[in-house]
Chains A and B, each alone.
Chain A
Amino acid sequence: DAGVIQSPRHEVTEMGQEVTLRCKPISGHDYLFWYRQTMMRGLELLIYFNNNVPIDDSGMPEDRFSAKMPNASFSTLKIQPSEPRDSAVYFCASMHSTSSYEQYFGPGTRLTVT
């Protein structure tokens, strides 16, 4: 398997623009996670899905953020409108529920909002 795939790897956008981050989990995994990493706040869980259903979105910072998982092989994290404080590395991870909770992380998307 190719592992968790994220795109784009780097994104630079202007304040106010819409940003869409994409994730393809490992085939057969039934959990998908979106994390954000910044110097100030460290690693934070934003939202996670089980069997394509959002289970806990308490980490989503505000209404400008939304996440979807239309099928088992694809998820998006959207920020609209983007702000400079959204600049961070966004990680997607997936896990199989019978795998002793081992999460596999994608390479991350580095987002810069100017």
Chain B
Amino acid sequence: GIQVEQSPPDLILQEGANSTLRCNFSDSVNNLQWFHQNPWGQLINLFYIPSGTKQNGRLSATTVATERYSLLYISSSQTTDSGVYFCAVERDYGQNFVFGPGTRLSVLP
């Protein structure tokens, strides 16, 4: 099956810093999503982005499907950005998403 890798596995930032999280996948995909899991376990969908670039406030994401990677940018990080960020991909125009292992982000005040 398709393999999903995320880097870095862990990231520690000072509040106000910018960061880039990366998701690599082993095969062509039709769907790609980014999720955030906060320290209390709640999962939130951030972006549906099979290709191109999207922005939502301080967060933006870019997927280059032909090169099999996606990037999540966090600007002016806040302590509330802490948690784990997951990339999930799907190959067959369905909803059977495969999740990466996540990047654990800690933003220090």
Contact = CB atoms under 8 A, between A and B. Distances in A.
B41 A45 contact: no
Contacts of A33: 95
Given A43-B86, A100-B48, A101-B33, A107 B97 contact: no
Given A42-B102, A43-B86, A100-B48, A105 B95 contact: no
Contacts of A108: 41
A93 B33 CA distance: 14
Given A42-B102, A100-B48, A105 B43 contact: yes
A112 B102 CA distance: 23
A42 B99 contact: yes
Interface in B57-108: 86, 88, 94-102
A24 to B, nearest CB: 17
A93 B37 CA distance: 14
Interface in A43-63: 43-45, 48, 50, 55-56, 58-59
A55 B97 CA distance: 13
With a 10 A CB-CB cut-off, give which of B42, B43, B97, B98 has the most chain A CB atoms: B43
Contacts of B14: none
Contact of B41 (A44, A89, A95): A89
Given A42-B102, A43-B86, A101-B48, A59 B96 contact: yes
Taking each of A91, A93, A103, A108, which has the highest tally of chain B beta carbons within 10 Å of its own beta carbon?
A103
Interface of B: 31, 33, 41-45, 48, 86, 88, 94-102
Interface of A: 31, 33, 42-45, 48, 50, 55-56, 58-59, 89, 91, 93, 95, 100-105, 107-108
